[in-house]
Amino acid sequence: MSQVARVFVVLNMLIAAGFLFAAATFNALNNDYMNKWDKEKKGREADITRKDLEIGKRDADIKRLESQNRALEEQRGTLTGARDALNQQVESLTSQMKTKDAEYAKLQTTNTAHATNVASLRTDLNSTRDENTKLADEARAKAKEAKDATEARDVAAKEIETLKGTIHERDKTINKKLEEISKLSLQVAYAVSKGIVLEDITPMKAMSGFVVNADNSMRLVQVNLGSKDGMKRGYMMDIVRGDGYIARVRIDTVFENQSAGLVVIPQGESKVMVGDRVTNRLQ
């Protein structure tokens, strides 16, 4: 065998040995790979089972979420409608707010004017209160005056009643005196008819004057003849008006320039008047 052949045989043996080693190594690697593959396969199958469970769970979650989503979509539709309605309300309220703002501005202007009026009215009120206080004080004073006047009136009324009683008593006295005078007048007339001159018995100074005041209801007469004219208490004076005889007066009160008396012999319905002539000497 040649040297080349021997080299070739050795090479073939080496290559065969290399192949055998490679085959053994590959087989060992293949077995290791197969073990790993089986282990990986089992792990993958477990993962797949777990994933399937998770997918089933996820599918259930998806269905639940889809149901929730549909409900939420319905709610969103409802809320959208509510939102649109609220937007319309907002627009309406915005418009109303603008109107209210305009009204508010107008009311502020009016309120300012009212505030000015209120200030003026307060000033007037304070003035009115002062006036009312003054009027109240005056009213209290007037009330006191009215009370005092009422008390004075009551006192005067009592005095008037007393005077009425006194006047009534005096009227009775006057009537009695008139009766006496009437009797005396008859006696005087009788004496005159018998030719007796009364002036010779009771001399009187000739006097003539005028009535200055008269109260026919009380039968009182005031004349302008007094003590300086020779008038004395108890004198009888005749009152005439022109050619007419009015009455006879008996003088009861005498002053220096005037005197007053009571009508004792009236002539019919004649009334004594201011300006009538009074005399003690009938012409």
In angstroms, rounded to a whole number, what is the distance separating the alpha carbons of residues 185 and 76? 138
What is the number of domains present in the chain?
Answer: 1
The token pair that represents 162 in the structure block: 């007393």
pLDDT of 109 over the 80 cut: yes
Q: Note whether residue 198 is domain-resident.
A: no
Contact 20, 12 (CB under 8 A): no
Please report the sign of the dihedral spanned by the C-alpha atoms of residue 65, residue 67, residue 72, residue 73. positive
Provide φ and ψ at 239, rounded to 5°. -115, 130
Contact 256, 224 (CB under 8 A): no
Q: What pLDDT is recorded for position 201?
A: 47
Rg (CA), the chain: 76
Provide φ and ψ at 250, rounded to 5°. -105, 125
In angstroms, rounded to a whole number, what is the distance separating the alpha carbons of residues 67 and 102? 51
In angstroms, rounded to a whole number, what is the distance separating the alpha carbons of residues 67 and 164? 120
Rounded to whole angstroms, what are the CA distances from 13 to 1, 5, 72, 237? 16, 12, 80, 212
Give percent above pLDDT 90 in the chain. 22
Max mean pLDDT range (7-21, 92-106, 189-203): 92-106
In this predicted model, what pLDDT tens digit does every residue of 50-86 receive, in sequence order?
888 888 888 888 888 888 888 888 888 888 888 888 8
Mean pLDDT of 16-40: 77
Q: Note whether residue 265 is domain-resident.
A: yes
Q: Give the count of beta carbons closer than 10 Å to the beta carbon of residue 263.
A: 23
Domain that holds residue 248: 206-283
Q: Note whether residue 270 is domain-resident.
A: yes
Mean pLDDT of 176-186: 66
Q: Note whether residue 48 is domain-resident.
A: no
DSSP state of 263: E
Mean pLDDT of 252-262: 96
Q: Note whether residue 6 is domain-resident.
A: no
Q: Which of 232, 230, 261 is nearest to 248 (CA)?
A: 261
pLDDT of 36 over the 50 cut: yes
CATH (domain of 282): 2.40.10.340
Q: Note whether residue 131 is domain-resident.
A: no
In angstroms, rounded to a whole number, what is the distance separating the alpha carbons of residues 275 and 270? 14
Rounded to whole angstroms, what are the CA distances from 188 to 197, 262, 279? 10, 19, 18
Q: Kindly state the helix (H) or strand (E) to which residue 264 belongs, with its residue range.
A: strand 259-266
Out of 125-129, 139-143, 169-173, least confident range: 169-173
pLDDT of 191 over the 80 cut: no
Rounded to whole angstroms, what are the CA distances from 227 to 212, 238, 251, 258, 259? 16, 18, 11, 8, 8
Rounded to whole angstroms, what are the CA distances from 208 to 15, 43, 211, 278? 207, 174, 10, 6
Place 183 in a pLDDT band, splitting at 50, 70 and 90: low
Residue 132 sits at the vertex; the CA angle it makes with 114 and 124, to the nearest 5 degrees, is 20
Mean pLDDT of 216-231: 94
Q: Note whether residue 119 is domain-resident.
A: no
pTM, 2 dp: 0.32
